[in-house]
Structure 1
Amino acid sequence: MEIAELKPALESHLTGIWKSPVQIQDIVHLSGGACQDNFAIRLSVDSSPGNTEKNIVLRTDKGGSLLSSLSKKDEYKVAGLAYAAGVKTPEPIYLEENANIIGAPFFLMEKISGKATGRYIIKDAELNEYRKTRMVTDLSENLARLHSVILESVKDAELKQKLKVTTRETYVQTSIDDLRKSLDELPESHPAIEISLNWLDKNKPDVDAIVLVHGDYRTGNFMITKEGLQGILDYEFAHWGDRHEDVAWLCMRDWRFGKLNKEVGGFGDRADFYNAYSDYNKIPILATKVRYWEIMGNLRWAIGSAQQAERHLSGKDKGIELAAIGRRTAEMEWEAMRLIEEAENAV
């Protein structure tokens, strides 16, 4: 839906929901990647004793889902779990499941300040002091807070199932099996991924606990200003899993944006992040497990980028961004095999 159509549709709908006249002053289309659409909205609600101004973000889908992305309903609920657990994240405000309002389900959340772009977070001079002092600690502590959400603490039975209930004993094998299934669905073969999956199958680590995993915890999915972390974003790939998954995903080479010597997101060092996480929740992060899940993460992203290219090539969702992302598949294949070689040489 175009912004010119979005404004009256939202004004009418929210007026009915909030039982007070809603007037939208401004709507700005924000970057949302290949799968999402985000809009910054400034509005006022005319209610007694006076007008209340709100700055919010509307989040919705714009194309087919990638891998196991959550519905807007479930993503909204996960954001609520994170917010309740003390994670610094935008407050969820309203969920709309009816696709007829704007053409797709959507939810509203608090608008926060800051930037999420890789160039800003790892290179901008105004963040130099924050990068040196608190960035690693803030991000590790907030990840630990998210990981404090466990199966037993969630009362919503439907959501628990949508996040794929699993066990410590079966989780790693299930993750490998899911990747094999996704790989088999691609129209072309990927021998490097097959070889790497075989290695993962033979070297499975144990899982210390099943926790709520963000699933896409990386540079680009948290908002930062020179004052510090403003909020963690994008829970569309959240699921039950191993805490080392999120740490490994943040450390992947693809999310360092060229700053390869800073292995944590392009801004930090592994030991500092591991130690800050462990200092906060008294649970150690094991480097060997991080490397295992980093290999898994590279395969997941390699398959995901191939899936996005296929959306373009099949004609389902034509777009230069989707086509360009597909080019990255070989990079992740190479990185996964490099990490396997590193693991073998360490034995």
Structure 2
Amino acid sequence: MEDALSERIEIVLRREFDEFYELESCQQLSAGASQETWRITFRSRSGESRLALRRRQPNAVSQSGAGAITLEIEAALLRLAVQSGIPGPEVFYVLQPDDQLGSGFIMQWLDGETLGQRINRAPELADIRPQLARQCGELLGRIHRLPWQNTALADQLPSITPADLVDQTWEYYCDINVPVPMIDYTWRWLKDNLPVDSRHTLVHGDFRNGNLMVTAGAGINAVLDWELAHIGDPMRDLGWLCVNSWRFGNSELPVGGFGHLDDLLAGYESTSGLNVDRQTLRFWQVFGSFWWAMVTLQMAQAWRTGETPSLERPVIGRRSSEAQMDCVSLLIPGDYRLPASDDSTVTGTQLPMPGELLAGVEAFLRETVAKQLDGHSQFLARVAANSLSIAQREFRHGAKIAQEETARLGELLTANDDLDTLRWELVHQLRDSLPLNTQGLAEHLRQTVACQLFLDQPGYSALKNEY
């Protein structure tokens, strides 16, 4: 398959690039929800050159990702942004049907760091990190003033109000058909706290740590991945940048895990000329975690149905509890209890015990297999090890956690039934008219989400208790 892809890419390069001499390699770097990124290396008359190819995955049979625009529209938007002084790669060529490469575009190759964890921790970026929050604010102020109205994008970009965006996200969640009461609770809160008189501008839609390219000299030298761009409330971009999921463990720094909110807002106000209402910003921060809690479940559902076979997707689905816990922290903070240590699956007279078998395979994948692989295969070996870690915790603690959740729901709803039925009953009541301040509701949701997160990802920064 990759040989055929390389041949088709070479035909395009030979036709479209005067300097092209010989293709050296095509290497896939990443595969997101529906898009792939490839590095193209070729020889030209002036030496070795590189390009980047962004294209739709050939097996992505439907737009399961919420709100994505086409790659052709994304290419036009990226061109507008770069022409208007927003740092990013120049788009050289948009793929055509006759190219037999699917939907996508070829763009300038840029060097820099895009991994969120490294942006937050790499020693070589230590001097530039304190400047990134203000740079983000300045760039967002300029993005929100891009002149989209006088281009073909005016008819191509979706336009959506905050109310419609909240309901659309909740409807995506309803379509998955699983009972997750914290998502319904957050939906109700968002409906009750919608922004008043929101502005109407171009919104990047995915402006966060991980979609920014950073260098030690320039700071942010590219704003990437415009596939969720739309016309709407610009405060969504600022709130999304501050969502805890994109701080990569540095929760004390609310802007991407690298900066302070005052610096972000000062930068934004300097280029937009507008003051930011912090309550509106909080609304969009809550919405960001609500949206991500839904999208992770949506990815897992696409895996379960066979739409997108992947080792990573089911593990991503287990990240929904991270975003739900961030909603808990923002809306109903308080105390909770995590499970006590339970070694029943790893200690006993059976040799080896079931938990020991799982632990041995996990260690083999993480410490031996992953270290012998490169690139994406190494990443997948670690994903497999994480899957086994989740299974071990579920094996040790899942039954007791479920028993306690059932008891709490029975008391809250004054009902006696199995856990799934009780979860659905709480969801239906939240969707109807159950007051959000019902006695015991916040405590139940906080405890339930914390325990689920303990099973899924106990090291996530929102889980403060010792375990």
TM-score (norm 1): 0.88
Residues 232-252 of structure 1: CA deviation (Å, up to 9, x unaligned): 110011111111101111100
| Separation (CA, whole Å) in 1 of partners of 2:9 and 2:108 | 16
Aligned residues of 1:222 and 1:229 also touching (Cα < 8 A):
yes
Q: 1:138 to 1:32 in 2, by over 3 A?
A: farther
Which structure 2 residues correspond to residues 106-125 of structure 1 after superposition, within 5 A? 106-125=104-123
Structure-2 residue corresponding to 1:229: 220
Residues 243-264 of structure 1: CA deviation (Å, up to 9, x unaligned): 1101111100000000110110
Structure-1 residue corresponding to 2:404: none
- More helix as a share of residues: 2
1:57 aligns with 2:49: no
1:254 aligns with 2:245: yes
Instruction: Note the aligned Cα RMSD (angstroms).
Output: 2.2
Structure-2 residue corresponding to 1:332: 323
Which structure 2 residues correspond to residues 50-199 of structure 1 after superposition, within 5 A? 54-62=49-57, 63=60, 64-65=62-63, 66-98=65-97, 101-102=100-101, 104-132=102-130, 134-150=131-147, 152=149, 154-156=150-152, 159-166=153-160, 171-199=161-189
Aligned amino acid, residue 145 of structure 2: S
Deviation at 1:85, TM superposition (A): 2.2
Q: 1:77 to 1:207 in 2, by over 3 A?
A: farther
SS in 1 for 2:76: helix
Stretches of structure 1 lacking an aligned partner (at least 5 in a row): none
- More strand as a share of residues: 1
Deviation at 1:332, TM superposition (A): 1.3
Aligned amino acid, residue 164 of structure 1: P
1:41 aligns with 2:40: yes
Aligned residues of 1:70 and 1:236 also touching (Cα < 8 A):
yes
Aligned residues: 330
| Separation (CA, whole Å) in 2 of partners of 1:193 and 1:182 | 11
1:276 aligns with 2:267: yes
SS in 1 for 2:72: helix
| Separation (CA, whole Å) in 1 of partners of 2:188 and 2:137 | 31
1:285 aligns with 2:282: no
Structure-2 residue corresponding to 1:7: 6
| Separation (CA, whole Å) in 2 of partners of 1:53 and 1:209 | 46
Q: 1:97 to 1:304 in 2, by over 3 A?
A: farther
| Separation (CA, whole Å) in 1 of partners of 2:255 and 2:88 | 20
| Separation (CA, whole Å) in 2 of partners of 1:23 and 1:142 | 38
Aligned residues of 2:66 and 2:169 also touching (Cα < 8 A):
no
Deviation at 1:31, TM superposition (A): 2.3
Stretches of structure 2 lacking an aligned partner (at least 5 in a row): 334-435, 438-467
SS in 2 for 1:31: strand
Q: Which moved more, 1:287-296 or 1:186-195?
A: 186-195
Runs of 4+ in 1 over 6 A off after TM superposition: none
Aligned amino acid, residue 216 of structure 1: D
SS in 2 for 1:107: strand
Q: 1:100 to 1:306 in 2, by over 3 A?
A: farther
SS in 2 for 1:129: coil
Residues 205-228 of structure 1: CA deviation (Å, up to 9, x unaligned): 124421111111111101112112
SS in 2 for 1:10: helix
Aligned residues of 1:80 and 1:91 also touching (Cα < 8 A):
yes
Residues 151-185 of structure 1: CA deviation (Å, up to 9, x unaligned): 53x320xx33432135xxxx121112211221221
1:238 aligns with 2:235: no
Aligned amino acid, residue 86 of structure 2: V
Which of 324, 328, 332 is the equivalent residue of 1:341? 332
TM-score (norm 2): 0.66
Which of 304, 312, 328 is the equivalent residue of 1:321? 312
Aligned amino acid, residue 160 of structure 1: A
What percent identity do the matched residue pairs reach? 28
Instruction: From the CA coordinates, give the structure whose radius of gyration is larger.
Output: 2
